[in-house]
Structures are given as structure tokens and as C-alpha cells.
Amino acid sequence: MENNKKTTVVVTGFGPFGEHTVNASWVAVQEFEKLGLGDDIELRTKQVPVEYQQVQKIVPALWKQHNPQFMIHVGVSGMAQTVTLEKCGHNKGYSGLDNCSFCPGTHCCVDGGPECIDSVIDMDAVCKRVRASGLGVDVSVSKDAGRYLCDFIYYTSLYLSHGRSAFIHVPPLGEPYTAAELGRALQAIIREIIDLLEHSEEKITCQHQH
């Protein structure tokens, strides 16, 4: 019997912090939301404050409320010159203060959790496919999301979802990409992620049937 239930995808961006009074990550998510992912995908977006305790409340609530196929988190990096796909999240090293001048007492995301959690999404394959698409936005891959809120939200989500999460760093607006270009980049990347996950699940289903 055909399953007509839509696939749900949740995408978050961050609110303002420090010099980023307009956070390019949330602007990019809003631009991407205008473009969407087609009628077959239920897209949900959420702005997350740059606060550790809010991340710890909001991310589990999003997973519980929407039960998405996967969740994508987007953040801004002042050092980034490309749109960067992060391969993993880290559990320790969170000593940087958030918007409430707070950091976790243990400097950990999840006490007793693994040091590092990899995404089940093959970021190298996603990067290669997006680059080959002629998007006009440079895309790269990284293994270090920075040990601040970006890394923190990624690890939290990876831990809760057994790796069914992704993190995308975008440069500040105009350095060099416009909001519209970043929105198109997010759309292209997330479409490739959906395609890759669908094919990997088809393989698993096929193997189970033989």
C-alpha cells in the first residue's frame, strides 16, 4: 500500500548575537522557506536564540512535536567564505558565553555522551553533488563546527536523533553571497540530502527483502 504521508523536515537558524545583529543564518532560512522543497515535503522552520539552555529546551521539543525525517541547523560563521557542511558535532569545550552570559558548568553538551557524533548524512557526497550542479555558490566540508552554539545545537540534535541531523555554516550576508543566493544554496543542499537519504533507505529495504 502506498504511503501518502508527507516527509517532514525541520530547519533552524539562529537569532542575533554579538556583531551579528542580523544573523545571516536565519535570513538564509527565511529565503529558503520562500523557495520550499515542493508539495511532498512538510517544511518547518524555527529561529533559535543564541542561548545554551534554550537550545536544550527547543531542540528536543522540535523532534518530539514534528518527528521529522531529519533536522537541519544553520548558523553563521564570520570566518566562513563558503557555505560549509559540518560532518560532526562535539560534546566538550563549551566555555564561550552565550547571549545570557552563560555557559554549561561542565563545558559539555551531554554529560557522559560520546566525544563526537558523526551525521549519518554523507556530507562529502552532498558537497560533490551540489558543486556539480552549477549553483554558483561555493560549498565545502568541515569537521569542526566551532565549540559554540553552532556545535552545541548540532551535537544535541545528533545525540537525540542517532545522527539524523545536519549543520550548515553560512558566511555573513554580502561576504560574498546575498540572502537569495544563500537561500538557493540551502534548497540545493537539502534536496541532495533528501535524495541521498531516500536512496540509502531504499537499499536497506531492498536488503531486508532478500
Catalytic residue status for 199: no
Active-site entry in 127, 169, 181, 192? 169
Catalytic residue status for 86: yes
Active-site entry in 20, 90, 150, 192? 150
Catalytic residue status for 116: no
Element (DSSP H or E) covering residue 83: strand 83-86
Active-site entry in 31, 51, 86, 192? 86
What is the rounded distance in angstroms from the CA atom of residue 163 to the CA atom of residue 57?
Answer: 19
What is the rounded distance in angstroms from the CA atom of residue 78 to the CA atom of residue 210?
Answer: 50
List, by residue number, the catalytic residues: 86, 150, 169
